[in-house]
Amino acid sequence: MPPTRALHSTLRRTSGYLLGRSTAHVSPSHRAQRYATAAGLEVNPISGAIGAEIRNVDLASKLSPEATTAIRKALLDHQVIFFRDQSLTPGSYLDFTTHFGKPIEYPFVKGLDGHKEIINVLKKENETTNFGGIWHSDTTYFEQPPMGSVLLALEVPPYGGDTLFANQYLAYEALSPGLKETLLTLKGVSTSAKADVSKTREDRIKDSGHKSETLEAVHPAVRTHPETGRKSLYVNPAHTSHFEGWTEAESAPLLQFLFQHQIKPEFTCRFRWDVGSIAFWDNRCAMHNPINDYHGYRRSMWRVTLEGDRPQ
């Protein structure tokens, strides 16, 4: 590794570690606590709202049932989990993800040769638009949106390109009783046509090489997580166009309020990438936004999408 790249890598790892340490030392009554699992993994929350970094695990090795259970629990507790310094082949990466769901082909982007469930999320040096650069839950215009996604960093810029995540349990719980009651009666209409307008990279790729008809699905504005039983907001700026039975004009004021509310800083965390970093998020209760604040650098990730169910 060139000296400059090595320095950048060291600084990014150090700053990310210090961020985890500073946010883990909180009041004993606070929910975000550092802890060790029975499998020997260390779970370090990176904010009070969402996100935890997991250490003391080599994902290239066969995971024990105890480690698999601990990782799944951390995902359900924190909505997005992070790993660092992982060295994985396409095969070992896919093997890791199969412990937590069924990897499926991403419909708009061709997968790797021999590993069709893995796609390359790429921004080239000469590009100015990134992949999915807007707050969203993945492909909610599917009847069965993904349960989650797993992203592995192969190449990263020396700075920038962080990803934000937002806890949609907290976003729902912070609403007034009256608005909660109203939202429980509503269904949001998600359409890939809105994604075309927002210029997310997944749909730019679809337009350039995987043209398809507009996809549309109707889901509850508030969904109940099938594993935790908790309620979360389930609308998002990239895909939700209106409420079922309402016009877009009638829906716009309430949707705009929700779009701004659900990404309040107190519901979020920010993850700084390094080569070998992995983010695994629960698409059923978290939104994410890859920040497009870097240009002239190449950023390359492998992504696996895990099969989901119909939101209830």
Q: What's the average model confidence in pLDDT over 140-156?
A: 97
Q: Does 1 score more than 60 pLDDT?
A: no
Chain Cα centroid distance, residue 84: 16
- Which residue in this structure is represented by tokens 């359409």? 191
What are phi and psi for residue 216, nearest 5 degrees?
Answer: -145, 140
Active-site option among 78, 138, 225, 284 = 138
Q: Is 298 a catalytic residue?
A: no
Active-site option among 84, 136, 223, 284 = 136
Q: Is 303 a catalytic residue?
A: yes
CA dihedral (101, 103, 108, 111) positive or negative: positive
Active-site option among 12, 84, 223, 288 = 288
For residue 26, give the DSSP letter.
-
pLDDT band, residue 206 (cuts 50/70/90): low
Q: Is 138 a catalytic residue?
A: yes
Q: Does 11 score more than 50 pLDDT?
A: no
What is each CA distance from 134 to 57, 73, 78, 291, in whole angstroms? 31, 28, 21, 8
* Residues 2, 7, 9, 10, Cα dihedral to 10°: 140
Q: What's the average model confidence in pLDDT over 176-205?
A: 82
Active-site option among 84, 225, 242, 303 = 303
pLDDT digits (tens, 9 = 90+) for 66-106: 999 999 999 999 999 999 999 999 999 999 999 999 999 98
User: Dmax over Cα atoms in the chain, in whole Å?
Assistant: 59
- Is there a contact between 246 and 240 (Cβ–Cβ < 8 Å)? no
Token readout for 190 is: 């998600």
Q: Is 295 a catalytic residue?
A: no
